[in-house]
Amino acid sequence: MKDLAVATVVAKNYLSFARVLAQSFLRHHPDIPLFVLLSDEVDGYFDPGAEPFRLLRLADVGIPDLPRIRFRSDRKQLAIASKPHLLSHLLDRGFGSVVFLDPDILVLSDLEELFAWVRRHAIVLMPHLLAPLSGQGSVERELNILQSGVYNGGFVGVSAGWTARAFLTWWGERVYAHCRHDVANGVYFDQRWLDLAPVFFPGLHVLRDPTYNVAHWNLPERSISITETSVTTDGRPCRFFHFSGFDPDDGHAVTRYSLRLNLSNVGPAAELFRRYRRLLESAGHGETKAWPYAYGSFDNGIPVPDAARRAYRELGEAAGRFGNPFETASPDSFFHWLRRRGALRS
């Protein structure tokens, strides 16, 4: 059995993030395969053979009902909803353990300890916060986590076996039908579903270690120190940093999710954000960010508005009669159905 694989998922416009993740990971683990699932089409924009990762396509990973889910979901939803299928696929290929990392993660030192935890447990998750918060804004920050999910979906580790399979099947079904931002109804993309996982799957291990998954939501509680060659968290080597919500084109913010934090008040961590920006730029961020989303337009080039995706979702099974929803030639197409209802401008 092949031992372990690491994987992430991106659309083309995030390809530079996947490159930086892959380079940072392979520097420490050159022998562990890193897979990138493209929730998009290559369309000649890059050469998969020249990338520092192994490319997977949606058609490879067995997502049910692919033509429809590409239309039902927007770019972000499709990438997120693919995660359980990506992990199942790599288990199917014979990997004993699989680790998912969000594309906006930077690996800073070797992950051997983490891999040992994953090998020993059917499922490993990491909480956003490791202890009650104190001080200003602590209640609001904890409530934000209750709204979005106790465990961060940016890391998921699984090991082959019945428990991991049952988890991935359940999670895959839930995110297929419910992967949206709807906090009042208990949904925050794929992430709030994970709150139920420790109860539903007793083999699950909650990894509580401040050196992993350092990000805007726990940065105020982490003491970061940076030298030329190392990054430490609370005095120990920082394993990986998660730049959730970071926009390299915004020179001051560290995340679009928090107004409190910016480069001038995060202390030494600011240097890490600046380094990450330089890495993204060297990885072609300026170019890749403009690459178009293949499932963002009908086949005649007209952009698919969110309202069209919503209408398609609401049709449920009845949407099947339209065949490929991106197609526009036939008068029986979904495109013409929308147009007849005045939902698309001519």
**Positions that interact with other proteins (CB under 8 A):** 102, 127-132, 139, 142-154, 166, 170, 173-174, 177-178, 181, 183-188, 191-193, 195-196, 198-200, 202, 206, 208, 215-217, 242, 244-245, 255, 257-258
CA angle 22/26/30 to nearest 5° reads 145
> Alpha-carbon distance 312 to 264, whole Å?
45
**Whole-angstrom distance, CA of residue 28 vs CA of residue 202:** 32
Q: Compare residues 169 and 300 and give the one whose CB is closer to other proteins.
A: 169
- Identity at 119, one-letter amino acid code: R
Question: Nearest distance from residue 55's CB to other proteins, in Å?
Answer: 24
Which strand (E) or helix (H) includes residue 106?
Answer: strand 105-107
* Two structure tokens written together for 96: 């004993």
Judged by beta carbon, residue 12 or residue 192, the one nearer other proteins is 192
Closest to 169 measured CA to CA, from 216, 227, 131, 123:
123
Residue 162: CB minimum distance to other proteins, A: 13
Q: Which is nearer to other proteins, 96 or 198 (CB)?
A: 198
Query: Minimal distance in Å, beta carbon 337 to other proteins?
Result: 25
CB of 333 to other proteins, least distance (A): 28
Measured from the CB atom, the residue of 154 and 325 that comes closer to other proteins is 154
Q: Can you give the three-state secondary structure of 36-78, one letter per residue?
A: EEECCCCCCCCCHHHCCCEEEEHHHCCCCCHHHHHHHCCHHHH
- Choose among 269, 277, 155: nearest CA to 221: 269
Min dist CB 115 to other proteins, Å, is 22
Shortest gap between Cβ of 199 and other proteins (angstroms)?
Answer: 4
Task: Indicate the residue among 196 and 290 with the shorter CB distance to other proteins.
Answer: 196
CB closer to other proteins out of 59 and 199: 199
Q: Order of strands across the sheet with 204-206?
A: 54-57, 34-38, 2-10, 95-101, 155-159, 123-125, 204-206
Minimum CB distance to other proteins smaller for 216 or for 333: 216
Structure token digits, residue 56: 């997977």
Of 174 and 277, which has the nearer Cβ to other proteins?
Answer: 174
Least CB distance to other proteins at residue 99 (A): 17
- In the complex, least distance from residue 40 CB atom to other proteins, rounded to whole angstroms: 21
Residue 328: partners with Cβ closer than 8 Å, 6 or more residues away? 298, 299, 300, 302, 335, 336
